[in-house]
Structure 1
Amino acid sequence: MKQEEVNCCQIHEWYPKFKSVSIKTIIHELPESFIQYLDGGSGPFLLPMSVSNEDALPNRIHKPEDEEDYQVSEGSEDESEQPPPPPSFPELELKIKDSIESLGGAVFPKLNWSSPKDTAWISPTGTLKCTSFSDIALLLKSSDSLVHDLCHAYDSCTDKTLSRPPHFYLALRKWYPSIRPEMEFRCFVHAQQLVGISQREVTAYYPSVLERKDELKDLIHDFFFNNIEGRFDSEDYTFDVYVTKDRRVKLIDFNPWGAFTLPLLFAWEELEQGGRLEEDVEIRIVESQHTVRPGLKTAVPYDYIDMNPGSGWDQFLRNADEELQHQMRSSEAGA
């Protein structure tokens, strides 16, 4: 994989070309000071000082000295030492505030490639829904998965010359409360041919999706043929789509082929065999409770999962496969 292929998948690179078939998004270039804040290492956890009084955790922003973690104990060598003041990004905050309002009052954020999926639990709603700059800063600052974008985006590139992109962007994407996770799919394109489609939510079984398997394959294939084929600046890549209740297909994202992208219900080896004609593209969906894949629900970039023999993930998957075979044999015997 080349750096150029990774760069093609940055949202600010592909969104202008495909905005008519994607989710409404507003993109802001981030100042370097904000990137340094996100990548601030092991310093105290401080949210930015809000200029619009929309603080997610006011006490942690304005009065960190009131928290026990910041108290100077008696007998300290430097009694006058004070905690660092909270950072402030007023210009960026006001731009983001305007963007949130223009997108209906709620958004979900992502950087060049990744969203802070691992910190959704921090939100009061348990989702990535954000209604203020402070909400966004909390999710981004707390996320470990965004370290990929900040420091490791090019680690799998054979021509690696960069450790990070020269510029970072924040994409604010319109929030849709009625999104159904079972209707999101990852599509695999090899040598500019659509060679596979996988259900993205592989941690649960949805009978209604299985019933529509052939219809969904046709809808997604037609979407690729009419909107993406030959227009994306790479030979090999993946893209994610969402199928709405009224059978429309919306483009969600692009990802590189391999590296940190999860193949979900496929293996990269079988996808790379290629040779499939477009009309023979295979779609894979979780087809029973026995084929649920709980081990794949992870915010850790795929490239960082140790899959070597004897590793924790290797043993986990072996145990999962053994349990699956046992359940299938028991089911067959009961039948």
Structure 2
Amino acid sequence: MSSEKPSLNRLFPHLTREDVLAFQFSSWYPKFRQISIKSTIVRPLTEEFCEYLDSDGVFLPVGSEDQQASSSLSNDEDDEDSDESDSATKYAFPELDAQIRQAIADYGGVFPKLNFSSPRDASWILPAGSPMKCTSPADVYMLLKSSDFISHDLDEDNVFEGCEPFPESQSPQYELELILRKWYPIDPSRELRCFVRQGRLIGVSQRDTNYYEYLNEPDTSRRILASVREFWEYHIKDKWNGCPDYVFDILLTRDLSRAHILDFNPYAPRTDSLLFTYEDLQQVMSGSSSETPQLRVINSRSHLAATRNAPAYQHNMLPLEALQMSNDLDIGAFASKWEEEIKKTLED
């Protein structure tokens, strides 16, 4: 048997700019909103807001906090900080703040994303009991500014990386958008990533990289596969109007009989294949004519221990400023200093 790896041309489809834009939230959500999570799309966004997201450091725009800590500053304190404040760019987005507050009032809490990417890698920055639940504009901004993932959406070269050349005069326009989705306490064991190649559902992977015993029960596996296939065939297969190669994320209901769409992603190297590799999926595609997709879940507590049991996105669990600040400090001193820096940021 040859050990040569399949070429990229075999593993992945060629994508055009139009193909990629079909995966941005505003392209697919209107058609699938009845089976997705309630969401508000905010666009156009100002150039100043895009500049803010792309700027260095983690700091909040003026007015984004519901209760302004800065109101308690004395004039003397203001004077002491004037030199530092004057040298830093100040941002304020009162109209966007109002739109975010309205979405929070409508939904009771939101979690944000941009066209393609969500700040899942920064979920640690908000209370663990309600991950990514934003109850103020400041929460939204802090999540976005603390995330490495959303940088993909800020650079058009990243968004269309690897796409086939497109005539400049006919090139589809890309416009940044902010998505505010209704926050729910989601059970991660029921989140699945599904892979479609050439219009055929070939793979289903558990998204959360923890072990759940019930997912390994044979009856449960059969129910999951049956529900996923039925959902895809009835709600997605003939309604998806993008390229025939795509990845979609769903959340199953508690009884595992129905689902809600969370997102669509390109069938491309940038999309995490989770418990598969794209070589695995290629073999599934070429090695069987069966119409039943392959399901993969973590099948033991030690499964993928070396690479998957560490906290997700652990490289991003502290911003660079915190890592630099921690030098030569014990835990107690670091915690105290970090708390002071957060308070100072909110006051500024």
TM-score (norm. length: structure 2): 0.73
| CA-based RMSD | 3.1
> Aligned residue for 1:265?
275
> Aligned residue for 2:179?
171
One of 289, 303, 317 as aligned partner of 2:301: 289
One of 205, 209, 215 as aligned partner of 2:211: 205
> Aligned residue for 1:218?
226
Asked whether the equivalents of residues 18 and 172 of structure 2 are also in contact (C-alpha less than 8 Å), the reply is no
Change (3 A) 1:93 1:164: farther
CA distance in 2, matches of 1:122, 1:59: 21
- Superposed, 1:298-309 pairs within 5 Å as 298=313
2:178 matches 1:157: no
**Aligned-pair CA distance for 1:285:** 0.9
> Aligned residue for 1:320?
none
**Aligned-pair CA distance for 1:281:** 1.2
CA distance in 1, matches of 2:264, 2:314: 17
- Superposed, 1:232-251 pairs within 5 Å as 232=240, 233-246=242-255, 247-251=257-261
Structure 2 residue ranges without an equivalent (≥5): 1-13, 316-348
> Aligned residue for 2:25?
11
With a CA cutoff of 8 Å and minimum separation of 6, indicate the structure with the bigger relative contact order. Answer: 2
2:36 matches 1:25: no
> Aligned residue for 1:49?
62
**Aligned-pair CA distance for 1:259:** 2.1
> Aligned residue for 1:310?
none
CA distance in 1, matches of 2:258, 2:46: 36
Q: CA-to-partner distance for each residue in 1:157-211, whole Å, 9 max, x for gaps?
A: 243789996311111111112x111110000000011011111112x21011112
Q: CA-to-partner distance for each residue in 1:100-132, whole Å, 9 max, x for gaps?
A: 2111x1011000011111211211347211011
**Aligned-pair CA distance for 1:5:** 2.2
> Aligned residue for 2:150?
146
Residue identity opposite 2:127 in structure 1: P
Asked whether the equivalents of residues 59 and 142 of structure 2 are also in contact (C-alpha less than 8 Å), the reply is no
> Aligned residue for 1:118?
121
**Aligned-pair CA distance for 1:62:** 8.4
Aligned identity (percent) is: 36
2:111 matches 1:108: yes
One of 54, 60, 75 as aligned partner of 1:39: 54
Change (3 A) 1:54 1:235: same
The alignment partner of 1:279 has SS state of coil
The alignment partner of 1:82 has SS state of helix
CA distance in 1, matches of 2:112, 2:181: 6
**Aligned-pair CA distance for 1:7:** 1.1
**Aligned-pair CA distance for 1:31:** 2.0
Matched residue count: 285
Change (3 A) 1:157 1:255: same
Residue identity opposite 2:190 in structure 1: M
